[in-house]
Amino acid sequence: MDLQSRKIEFVQAFLKLQSEEVIIQLEKLLKKETKKFSLILNL
């Protein structure tokens, strides 16, 4: 499965989530990884 298909599948699964706790954890992970990635780009 190519990256674009994987992203679409992930977003579709995310939209079906009912648990606020899972969404909060995913938001934290996204912030953490985005921050880490931006630090790498700034080196």
The answer, as to whether pTM is greater than 0.75, is no
* Tokens at 38, concatenated: 């931006």
pLDDT in the model for residue 43: 66
pLDDT tens sequence across 1-43 = 899 999 999 999 999 999 999 999 999 999 999 998 888 878 6
Place of tokens 């079906």: 16
CA 12, CA 6: separation in Å to the nearest integer? 10
Where residue 9 falls (left for φ over 0; alpha for ψ -120 to 50; beta otherwise) is alpha
pLDDT in the model for residue 26: 95
pLDDT in the model for residue 38: 86
CA 32, CA 19: separation in Å to the nearest integer? 20
